[in-house]
A and B are shown apart, each in its own frame.
Chain A
Amino acid sequence: MARMAREEWYDIARDLDWELSYVDYEAVFPEWMSGPGKVPREAWAKWDEPYKVTYPEYVATQREKETGAYSVKAVLQKSRVFDQLDEGWKSVAKEHFGAVALIEDLAVYAELRMARFGLSPAWRNMAIFGALDETRHAQISLYFPHALIGKDAQYDWAHKAYQTNQWGIIAARATFDGMMMNPNVVDVAIQLPFTFETGFTNVQFVALAADALESGDINFANMISSIQTDEARHSQQGGPTLEILIEHDPRRAQWIIDKTFWTSARLFSILTGPAMDYYTPLAMRKQSYQEFMQEWIGGQFLDQLRDYGLKKPWYWDEFVAGLDTWHHSLHLGVWYWRPTVWWNPQGGVSPEERDWLHDKYPQWEERFGPIWDVIIDNINDNRMGLTLPQTLPWLCNLCHLPIGTAGSPHNEKFPVRSYPVTYNGHTYHFCSRPCRQIWWEDRDTLYDKTVIERLLGGEIQPPTVEGILTWMGLTPDIMGDDAYGYRWARPYARTRAPQDRPGRPHGATGQVAPPPGDARPVPVNALFENDFVTQLVIVLDTDTVQEAARKVAEQVVGRRVAPRDAGLVVRHAGTVVPGGMTVAESGISALDIVTVGWAEDA
């Protein structure tokens, strides 16, 4: 029997709707959930999805996709392919599963919110498909790693990660709650399908598949690129919503894209950047992270944005500059704080890898090379304690990533520094001006405390590195370590002989003496010059400023900054503070920014 072509009946079926008579329209589609704002009710009748699919078509296509993905898995599971995968590459998959699997589940709720509160029947219909899609993504992203738990316990974090207080997960929750759960559905449609799914997910799910296939992880490449075929369809809820919003409230449209783009870019610089430029084995890298971002974001997404008549976000130049630094800084941070992650970061700084980094990022050596050299010497001289943290980086109150990682050392335009703001008597710290500005605009709806704030608020007990790891849910069998067992550092032992290196740190190291009875701890956001992050350092109000400076130096000098035979200078509130006065006399107080440097540079 000949069927009617879809075009002949689709619009009528899809636009099935009814006039409400028992309740008010506003009660069914309240502003705080549906979010029409300045858009008049009748405008939503124009909502038209460009990527059309009927329910029978949907079921048939999804069945084919599932058959494809699971049959590849079934075949490969019987092979030795997994055992032959590079340990660095495995970390890409582990990080992905933990960071992504239950966010796919969160996206089910985001789609269901649009399916309920979306302002046109066409939109609600498409969101139903979206919810079914995201259900599939959550299931497949849990099922695939589940088969690997017996081989490697870190895969268990595919399910566990999102339910812990691990710092990266707190960052992800803050970003995705802000994108999926917190906003009204007009904002959700612009944030999630439009900005995130037609922009950023392509980099993790399509571009990264190129590296996955090259690395021999056929299963992973097949799974993520299959997932993204769903996204390509349901992300098309963004366009029609955006078109209507632009017509009635272009400023709101631009603002929602701008803030989502920024927070997504920050998050991807820790999720995708290190995976592409450090964990993927050198010979298998298709392009650098920067090149993939230029292809998918600087090219494809920006073209689309302009096509809707929108402008580049106000911080565009800062974003582009960040493609040179953010993910390098974050990789360094993840590696240095490796016990706090559920995968084994690959250092990725062997002489050959370093040549590649220098080739792709001409300023890498100047900005990050000196820090890695200190780390490499410590590895080769078996001072492993100095390659592991004794405190935490200070975290941004918006993106929750370490402060400093939106810039880099030896970078005049975007230096390592905190961008603070004091509001209602509390000082908040940010990694960048855009993070601070977005927080300021949205401050009434944001309440995620950073790990630093939780620690200082007494929520983490005992307040030690061990206590923090336990609080984050990390057990010894899961805590990350170098993926290659540090072998990438060995070749330097021949070229960097001990006599050629700067001396070891002088002065006291190790535990701080217990405070005398009347001394009060003063937690400060401390930067040591030429380091790549700012850190939490707890000084005492009875310390002299010189003693406080040494406490800051202990967390950096000999660890990431080479020691020098020079005194220390402290700057606070724009001026040099005399070393002989006490912290209390100097005016340095809790949550203040303190910068320490070498006296000869003062």
Chain B
Amino acid sequence: MSKSVGPVLRMSDDVEGIVAAIVDDNPGQEVTVVDRGAYTRVSGDGELRVTRESIERHLGRAFAMRQLEGLMSAFAGRIEMTSDEVRWRLRSENPAPPGRAGEPA
């Protein structure tokens, strides 16, 4: 089964920076980028993450993680979101432990 996960970004000046941040934050992962004009689909296999720190580095300005929402029209996989990081993943072969997924320790 395909386990393609990741965000679908709407058109904006920040798309390139976000994509670069995702590539940085997923070393060893093949990140696929499909540009359809009004949207750009960024995909990895099974799991992708992006950190606020990398986004700020690539955009060259402060970035609150909540601002990703305005840039992201959709996403593949399941999302987990904290103030510093967003993850997209499919869990089938790596089931989440019982209880709340992504709950801060």
Contacts and interface: CB of A to CB of B under 8 A. Distances in A.
A349 B2 CA distance: 36
Given A57-B66, A299-B4, A209 B72 contact: no
B74 A202 contact: yes
Contacts of B69: 53, 61, 229, 232-233
A41 interface: no
Contacts of A232: 69, 72-75
A206 B70 contact: no
A225 B37 contact: no
Contacts of A68: 70
B78 interface: yes
Interface centre among B11, B39, B75, B79 (most CB of A within 10 A): B39
B57 interface: no
Given A210-B36, A307-B92, A229 B10 contact: yes
B66 A213 contact: no
Nearest to A307: B90
A228 B73 CA distance: 5
Contacts of A529: none
Interface in B4-31: 4, 8, 10-11
Interface centre among B3, B4, B74, B103 (most CB of A within 10 A): B74
Interface string B58-73: 0000001011011111
Given A50-B80, A286-B37, A226 B3 contact: no
Interface residues of A, number: 48
A52 B102 CA distance: 11
B32 interface: no
Contacts of A198: 74
Nearest to B99: A46
Given A205-B73, A233-B69, A303 B1 contact: yes
A60 interface: yes
Contacts of B81: 50-52
A57 to B, nearest CB: 4
Interface centre among A51, A205, A299 (most CB of B within 10 A): A51
A304 interface: yes
A300 B4 contact: yes
Given A53-B66, A303-B3, A307-B91, A11 B103 contact: yes
B35 to A, nearest CB: 10
Interface centre among A207, A228, A236, A300 (most CB of B within 10 A): A300
A8 B78 CA distance: 22
B52 to A, nearest CB: 11
Contacts of B4: 299-300, 303
B44 interface: no
Given A6-B83, A51-B79, A286-B36, 11 more contacts: A7-B104, A46-B99, A50-B78, A61-B67, A205-B73, A206-B39, A210-B36, A229-B71, A232-B74, A233-B69, A303-B77
Interface of B: 1-4, 8, 10-11, 36-39, 41, 64, 66-67, 69-83, 90-92, 99-104
